Amino acid sequence: MRESDIPLTAVSTPSGMLWEWLVMLQGLKNASATFNRCVTHLLCSVRDFAPSYFDDVFIHSRAVDGKSEVEMHKEHLRMLFALMCKHKLYANLKKCIFGASEIPVLGCLVGKNGVRPDPGKVRVINEWPTPSNVK
């Protein structure tokens, strides 16, 4: 949220305290679309290795020019974090996954070998008993 817009979000509580939102309130009508458009625009320079989906950013790295995957991944992280700092975007470290070969995305696991269903999401289906009669 722009600093100049923060006072516009002020709410007075019954006790007389004044609260101001420092980030966009997600319950607003167009907040999700506005946020997605903003993040997509701000991160366009890193989308080759860090595509975004709403508030998720997926960083993938390959070995390039004698640098290992890990070195490239660290370089990509530094570039992304510098861009986030520049535009005052914040990450919740509790929700971050670093250096993983596979990550959960929309109920699936995505990695260098492709996309597969999350075993935790399909466990009940796999354990479903085979029908024993024709009815």
Based on the fold, state whether residues 106 and 73 are members of the same structural domain. Answer: no
Total domains, the chain: 2
Question: N- to C-terminal Cα distance for the chain?
Answer: 60
Q: Identity (one letter) of the amino acid at 18?
A: L
Q: How far is it, in rounded angstroms, from Cα 5 to Cα 20?
A: 10
Based on the fold, state whether residues 93 and 64 are members of the same structural domain. Answer: yes
In Å, what is the CA distance from 9 to each residue of 36, 37, 88, 117? 20, 21, 18, 41
Q: Please state, as a whole number, how many other Cβ atoms lie within 10 Å of the Cβ of residue 1.
A: 15
User: Model confidence over 100-126: pLDDT tens digits?
Assistant: 999 999 999 999 899 999 999 999 998
Range of the domain at 112: 101-135
Confidence of residue 54 (pLDDT cuts 50, 70, 90): confident
Q: Whole-model pTM?
A: 0.72
Average pLDDT, the chain: 91
